[in-house]
Amino acid sequence: MTSGAAQAADDTIIPEAASRISAGATTSAEHFMAVTANPLATAAAVEILRRGGSAVDATIAAQWVLGLVEPQASGLGGGAFMLYWSQQQHQLHFYDGRETAPAAVDDQLFLQENGEPLNFLDAAIGGRSVGTPGVVKLLALSHQRHGKLAWAELFKPAIQLAERGFAISPRLYTLLKETPRLAVNPEIDKYFFLADGNPKPIGFILKNPAYAKTLKLLSRQGEKAFYAGPIAGNIVRAVQHNRNQPGKLALADLASYQARERAPVCGAFRQYKVCGPAPPSSGGSTVLAILGMLENFSDGQLTPQSTSFYHLFAEASRLAAADRDTYIADPDFVPVPTAGLIAPAYLAQRAALIDPLHSASAVKAGQPTWPQTDAARNYLMSRSPELISTSHLSIVDAEGNAVSMTTSIETAFGSRLFVDGFL
């Protein structure tokens, strides 16, 4: 994770490189469905679902595979937000497994000695940017509450792939070729690149015995094997002794980490109740803000695929993003006016700023209603770009339970630290 100051200081931030665009198609299923960013991860999820596993079981199996075949986007070393719909309880659960900053860092973390912010890549690459990974704890917590199959069974597809090897995809090859300053550590260089410095080619069978060993340990000992013991020690050593930027992550940070269940944020849009992840995620409130603004326009102005719809959607998105970049933070440390940001009266005021025929030259954050105790706080807008360096999966099981999970290691290939087979 990097600070807004570091991002704002660099106008050449490079998102995850594009490879190709392919036409999509809709499909349907009668019993269950899994959608992920890689067919091998989808196959692992489907295997679990066919064996009677829950949506959470399938998600766990898919994540272990994604960390192997799509390592640039997510994995054991990152974090995730999960929404889980329980069909039996008729209840939506939101699990927060995002990374947390080391206890030893302060507000000078991403500043140079002269007080100027580091540029983005200097801040992101190395140990300085590493927070305590949360995805393993999140998946363990969700499995304890919603899993059906044994924990160890969910590792088998990824372990087999890691030992047998998988063919490097065009997508992974493109990322290896286009991502700047990737092979900055010998572990990454050896795993992903040939002796001549070129990425291992499309179709190359890439094996990862270190990752298989890590997964076997987790399958036997549970999440505690990640947050204490040899794996935790290797992570901390890699962070604290990184030759690019040493960081301050400590064994105590890993040992004290806890995934959290939080209440999702919900709102109305026409005849629907729409819910999403609450802060520290910005997703739920931002989507609800966009929908709430659009609800102030007529059906004729929102005809799908029309120029009018695209214009109104873009302008509402800009206003919602301005509020996002100003007010959304970690509610464990900073008050967040979530209810005010999605209040219908407030969104009607924001919608009134949209000219149906012209794009606004500039947008700024509004003034949502705050709880009285927090009304005096001052917030400033930061530049916080949404980089395409993340993965998302959606899974529905045979009982109608559903998972929607966003999982990430932040910028493509994360901090460039490669430990025990994962980034």
Kindly state the average pLDDT of the residues 98-112. 95
Q: What was the pLDDT predicted at 75?
A: 97
pLDDT band at 22 (very low <50, low <70, confident <90, very high): confident
pTM as predicted: 0.92
Encode the chain in three state secondary structure.
CCCHHHHHCCCCCCCCCCCCCCCCCCCCCCCCEEECCCHHHHHHHHHHHHCCCCHHHHHHHHHHHHHHHCCCCCCCCCEEEEEEEECCCCEEEEEEECCECCCCCCCCCCECCCCCECCHHHHHCCHHHCCECCHHHHHHHHHHHHCCCCHHHHHHHHHHHHHHCEECCHHHHHHHHHCCCCCCCHHHHHHHECCCCCECCCCCEECCHHHHHHHHHHHHHCCHHHHCCHHHHHHHHHHHCCCCCCCCCCHHHHHHCCCEEECCEEEEECCEEEEECCCCCCHHHHHHHHHHHHCCCCHHHHCCCCHHHHHHHHHHHHHHHHHHHHHCCCCCCCCCCHHHHCCHHHHHHHHCCCCCCCCCCCCCCCCCCCCHHHCCCCCCCCCCCCCCCEEEEEEECCCCCEEEEEEECCCCCCCCCCECCEC
Return mean pLDDT, the chain.
Answer: 92
Q: What was the pLDDT predicted at 316?
A: 98
Q: What was the pLDDT predicted at 376?
A: 54
At 40-61, the pLDDT tens digits run: 999 999 999 999 999 999 999 9
Q: What was the pLDDT predicted at 17?
A: 73
Q: What was the pLDDT predicted at 172?
A: 94
Cα–Cα nearest to 179, from 15, 8, 68: 15
* pLDDT over 70, % of the chain: 93
pLDDT band at 6 (very low <50, low <70, confident <90, very high): very low
At 129-161, the pLDDT tens digits run: 999 999 999 999 999 999 999 999 999 999 999
- Candidate from 8-17, 149-158, 346-355, 359-368 with smallest mean pLDDT: 8-17
At 159-170, the pLDDT tens digits run: 999 999 999 999
Q: Which residue has the higher pLDDT, 4 or 237?
A: 237
At 313-344, the pLDDT tens digits run: 999 999 999 999 999 999 998 899 999 999 99
Q: What was the pLDDT predicted at 2?
A: 30
At 242-252, the pLDDT tens digits run: 998 999 999 99
Q: Which residue has the higher pLDDT, 352 or 387?
A: 352
Q: What was the pLDDT predicted at 56?
A: 98
Whether 1 shows a pLDDT value over 70: the answer reads: no
Q: Omega of the bond prior to 280 within 30 degrees of 0, cis?
A: yes
